[in-house]
Structure 1
Amino acid sequence: MSLAAQILDLARQKGVTVATAESCTGGMIAAALTDPPGASEMFDRGFVTYSNAAKIAMLGVLAETLEAHGAVSEPVAHEMAEGARHASDAYLAVSVTGVAGPGGTEVKPEGMVCFGIAGPAGTRTETVRFGPLGRDGVRAATRDHALTLLLGALSGPA
């Protein structure tokens, strides 16, 4: 059973929905979540906020946060996840912002991705350094990790 199908089953059992806020994946997480039949029962909506302006306008990310930390940062991932949750009817929201490549910097190299997950118990963030897997590899690894975070959050108490 796929991760998305497992998320669908758990969300259906709990009667909850999820939302996504995506930058570097450009909607891949939302696409995976809507792949299984019946996904409309648990998927509320997805936000593809590739630009900083979109992060600000659609998710309420603060310009000050972007200026202080850059788009690829845990503070921005935190605000993206919370923004997606508050701008939707979702119980849980997952966010991703990262450097898919090619390129990057010494501080923020290719494969560095920041994740956020927001729910009733609060919001947590983490950074994963997937390494230089190439653009497609980083995006696929990011999608799968985000789905794993959602599955883990749904596996806890409602």
Structure 2
Amino acid sequence: MNAEIASEIEKLAAEVLAACRKRGVMLTTAESCTGGLIAGALTAIAGSSDVMERGFVTYSNEAKIGMLRVPAEIIAGRGAVSEEVARAMAEGAVRNSNAQIGIACTGIAGPGNSSGGGSAAKPVGLVHIAVAMVQEDTLHAEMRYGDIGRAEVREATVRDALKMALRMLGA
């Protein structure tokens, strides 16, 4: 990881944890394309256990359905990489944990190939991020990073997900 990006992510993660402490809320993550990197960024900060409740890595559709209770018909109708699934993941993470705020992402990190690495409708670099919080409207963002590299898509997703969490927390 680029040192500048790593430093920015570390700073954002510390800010999210501080904002959670200030609001008195516990945090959970539900990650697909990042494979736990958001939770990893948060738990890399000493003392994070006072607000980090748990992280769900739901890479498969079955995991999204089983762990987060994402309705199978949403995945079947809209696809795993969609606004509806990202929102359902964030809301499901909150419902299926002891947290009050949930950060979720689902996307196509790449590289493009014949085994599901992007299409014209859902290209490599397409990521949906959602942040849900008890008694708040769920935030969503569709990111189109482009085919900038798998690691770079994942890093950009972590950075932008943490920024969205800060917005939800009013920080």
The TM-score with structure 2 as length reference comes to 0.88
* Match in the other structure for 2:61: 52
Q: 2:151 aligns with which of 136, 150, 153?
A: 136
SS at structure 2 position matched to 1:116: strand
CA distance in 1 between partners of 2:141 and 2:79 (Å): 15
1:122: Cα distance to partner? 2.4
SS at structure 1 position matched to 2:129: strand
Structure 1: gaps (5+ residues): none
Q: Tell me the alpha carbon deviations over residues 110-151 of structure 1, each in whole angstroms, 9 at most, x when there is no partner.
A: 100011111121223221101111100000000111111111
Contact 2:90 2:102 in 1 (8 A): yes
* Match in the other structure for 1:96: 105
Q: 1:29 aligns with which of 30, 33, 38?
A: 38
RMSD of Structure 2 on Structure 1 (CA): 1.1
1:6: Cα distance to partner? 0.9
Q: 2:129 aligns with which of 109, 112, 115?
A: 115
Q: Tell me the alpha carbon deviations over residues 85-117 of structure 1, each in whole angstroms, 9 at most, x when there is no partner.
A: 000111110110000000111111010001111
* Match in the other structure for 1:145: 160
State, as a whole percentage, how many aligned pairs show the same letter. Answer: 49
SS at structure 1 position matched to 2:138: strand
* Match in the other structure for 1:126: 141
Most deviating of 1-10 and 37-46: 1-10
What is the number of equivalent residue pairs in this alignment?
156
Q: Which amino acid counterpart does residue 123 of structure 1 have in structure 2?
A: T
Structure 2: gaps (5+ residues): 1-9, 113-117
The TM-score with structure 1 as length reference comes to 0.95
CA distance in 2 between partners of 1:142 and 1:124 (Å): 15
Say if 2:101 is the partner of 1:87. Answer: no
SS at structure 1 position matched to 2:29: strand
